[in-house]
Structure 1
C-alpha cells in the first residue's frame, strides 16, 4: 500500500496532514542539536571542546541535520518539478537563439535540476530536438551547479549573502561558458548518433494528469531513491568534515589554502575535479573547512569543481562528446570556477 492510499481524500484533511508532517519535520530539526548535546555531554559525560567529543558530535549531528534537510528539500522540489518535465523544458528551449537562450537555459537548469546520471539523456534529447549546443551546455552546467539541494543547504549553513553570491556566480558561469562554447561552433565534436536520435516529432508530458496525492507519492519515492544512492558519499563527506572539525590543526588549511597562498583556489579546484560527490556530500566538508579558516571564495570554488565537474559526470558525457570537446568543456568551466574563487576571496575578505 502506497502513501497515497493513506492520505485523506478531502482538501481540508490533506492540508492538515501536510501541515502536521511539516511540523514534525521542524520539531525533529529543532531537537537534533539538543539531543546530541545530551547524549555526549550528559549521558556519556564527555567534555565539550575535546577533539574526540567534537568529532563525534559533529558527525552525528550533521548526519541527522543533512538527512532532514535533504528529505524536506527533495520532497518539496520533486513535487514542484513534477509540473516541469524534461520534455516541456526541451520545448521551451527549442528554437532559442544564443544569448537569450543561454540565460533561459541557465534559469531552467535551476528549477529543473538533473543529476549527473541524467546528463546523457538530457543532452541527447535537447540537441536532437534542435536546441543549440551552447544553450544545451548552459542548461547542463546550471543543473548540477545551482541545484535545489545546494541552495537549501547553503542557505541553512552560511546564510543569505553567501547563498545569493553562489547562485549569481553559478548562473554567470553557466551562461558565459555556454555562450563561449556555442560561439566556438563545436557541433562536429558531438558524437554523430546524438543527431540521429528521433523523438517522434511529438512532445509527451509524462506528468500530465497526475493528482496532487500522486505528486506527493512521487516526492516520497524520490527522497528514498536519492538517499539510497548518495548515503555512502554523504557519510564519507560528513566523516571527513568531522575529522577536520575535531582534529585538524587550525592553521593547517590557512597555511596551504588560506589567503596567503596565491595558488589556493587553483589547488582547491584541482583537488575537487576528480572527486565524486554532490552538494549534500560536500557541504559538511565545506562547513568544517570554513570553521578552520579557509576563505569562502576558495571553498565555493572547491564545491563548484566537485559538483559541476565530477569525474562520473565527465565519464557519462564522454559517451556523447568527443574527447576534444569534453576537454574544452572542462577547461572553460574550470577556468570560470577559478576566476569566481579569486573574485569571491577578494570581495568577501
Structure 2
C-alpha cells in the first residue's frame, strides 16, 4: 500500500522517470523516510505502552545479573525482527528510553539488520544451508560479543544529555492505573521522540538514497578484486558508507562471489552494508555523542572483518 502510494507520488505526480538515477533516488528517499517515520512512531508507542506493565528496576537487574546471556537474548530478538539498520533504530531508542543497559540495546541494534528472516531466505536460495547457518551463527556472535564489550566500556556518559536524563527518570515505573493512561503515556513517548529525531531521519535517508543510486557496483568490485589479502577490510570499509535493503544486498554479494571475490570478502561487504551505514550514524547522532558512535562503528567493523577472514578460511570446507 505504502509502496504503491509512493509510486504514484514520485512517478505520477512528480513525473520522475523510474529508469533514471534521480527517479530512483527520489523514490528511495520518499519510501524509506515514510516507512521509517511510521515505524518509529508506532514501535515507540507500543514500547511505551508495554513499559507501563513492566517493572523496570527488576528487568535491569535481571539483565545485569544474566551477564552475556542478556546480550545473547537481545541479539536473538534482533535476529527475528525484520529491520534494516535504520529501521532498527526506533526500537533501539525505545529500549534506551526504557532504561535498558546500553550494551544490551546495542546487541539488538547490531544483530537486527545482520540477521532476519528475509535475509536468511535469500541466502538459502543463493548460498545453501551450510553458509546460511554459519552466517546466522556469526551474526548472533557479533551482536552478542560486541554488545557485551561495549557494555563493559562505561560509555553511558556519551549518551546525549536529554536521553541520559530520560533514562534516569525511567528508574521508576510509569504511574499508570487504567489502560487509557497507558495509551496516553505511549503517545507522549512516541510524539516526543519523533519530534526530536525526524530531521535526522530525513537527513540520513537522503544520504542513503544518494549513495544507493549514484555509487556504481562495478567500481566497488574493481577495488575489491585488486586488494588481495586486504580485500576483507577494504570490502568492509567500502560497505560501511552504503545503505540498502536485505533484498538488494544479498544479490550484490552473490554477484561479487560469482565474479571471483572470496566468500568472506563478499559476506563482509554485505554485513557492513546491513549493519553499518552513514544514514544510521546520522540518526544515532540524536541519541549518542560522536565518541560513542565512533567506538560502536569501530568495534562492529573489526568484528565483521574478523568474521570475513574466518569465512575465507572456511570457504573450501563449506562449499
Deviates further, 169-178 or 91-100: 91-100
Task: Kindly indicate whether the alpha-carbon contact (under 8 Å) linking 2:75 and 2:144 is maintained by their aligned counterparts in 1.
Answer: yes
Residues 228-265 of structure 1, C-alpha deviation per residue, up to 9 Å, x if partnerless? x9xx89x959x966x79xxx8xxx678425xxx11010
**1:147 is the counterpart of 2:121:** no
Instruction: Provide the residue aligned with 1:309 in structure 2.
Output: 276
Instruction: Provide the residue aligned with 1:256 in structure 2.
Output: 226
Q: Rate the CA distance shift 1:88–1:169 in 2: closer, same or farther, 3 A.
A: farther
Structure 2: distance between partners of 1:273 and 1:320:
20
TM-fit CA distance, 1:288? 1.1
TM-fit CA distance, 1:319? 1.1
TM-fit CA distance, 1:100? 1.4
The residue correspondences of 1:258-297 to structure 2 (distance < 5 A) are 261-297=228-264
Residues 305-326 of structure 1, C-alpha deviation per residue, up to 9 Å, x if partnerless? 1111111011101111111111
Residues 33-83 of structure 1, C-alpha deviation per residue, up to 9 Å, x if partnerless? xxxxxxxxxxxxxxxxxxxxxxxxxxxxxxxxxxxxxxxxxxxxx9xxx9x
**1:122 is the counterpart of 2:87:** no
TM-score (norm 1): 0.59
Structure 1: distance between partners of 2:256 and 2:85:
25
Structure 1: distance between partners of 2:266 and 2:50:
32
The residue correspondences of 1:42-57 to structure 2 (distance < 5 A) are none
Instruction: Provide the residue aligned with 1:182 in structure 2.
Output: 151
TM-fit CA distance, 1:119? 4.1
One of 307, 312, 319 as aligned partner of 1:340: 307
Residues 66-125 of structure 1, C-alpha deviation per residue, up to 9 Å, x if partnerless? xxxxxxxxxxxx9xxx9xx65698759932123111011000111124344444432332
Structure 1: distance between partners of 2:312 and 2:55:
37
The residue correspondences of 1:13-52 to structure 2 (distance < 5 A) are none
One of 104, 113, 118 as aligned partner of 1:135: 104
Q: Rate the CA distance shift 1:286–1:333 in 2: closer, same or farther, 3 A.
A: same
Aligned CA RMSD, in angstroms, stands at 3.4
Secondary structure of 2:91's counterpart equals helix
Which blocks of at least 5 consecutive residues in structure 1 are unaligned?
Answer: 3-77, 207-228
The residue correspondences of 1:80-229 to structure 2 (distance < 5 A) are 86=47, 94-95=59-60, 96-97=63-64, 98-197=67-166, 200=174
Which blocks of at least 5 consecutive residues in structure 2 are unaligned?
Answer: 2-38, 185-205
Task: Kindly indicate whether the alpha-carbon contact (under 8 Å) linking 1:111 and 1:148 is maintained by their aligned counterparts in 2.
Answer: yes
TM-fit CA distance, 1:190? 0.6
Secondary structure of 2:106's counterpart equals helix
Deviates further, 181-190 or 141-150: 141-150
Residues 192-242 of structure 1, C-alpha deviation per residue, up to 9 Å, x if partnerless? 211333674569699xxxxxxxxxxxxxxxxxxxxxx9xx89x959x966x
Structure 2: distance between partners of 1:172 and 1:288:
26
Q: Rate the CA distance shift 1:292–1:320 in 2: closer, same or farther, 3 A.
A: same
Structure 1: distance between partners of 2:131 and 2:49:
32
Task: Kindly indicate whether the alpha-carbon contact (under 8 Å) linking 1:300 and 1:341 is maintained by their aligned counterparts in 2.
Answer: yes
Q: Rate the CA distance shift 1:284–1:120 in 2: closer, same or farther, 3 A.
A: closer
Which protein has the bigger helix share?
2
One of 295, 298, 301 as aligned partner of 2:265: 298
Task: Kindly indicate whether the alpha-carbon contact (under 8 Å) linking 2:88 and 2:113 is maintained by their aligned counterparts in 1.
Answer: no
TM-fit CA distance, 1:282? 1.5
Structure 2: distance between partners of 1:86 and 1:178:
21
TM-fit CA distance, 1:126? 1.1
Task: Kindly indicate whether the alpha-carbon contact (under 8 Å) linking 2:85 and 2:276 is maintained by their aligned counterparts in 1.
Answer: no
TM-score (norm 2): 0.64
TM-fit CA distance, 1:151? 1.2
Larger radius of gyration: 1
Secondary structure of 2:244's counterpart equals coil
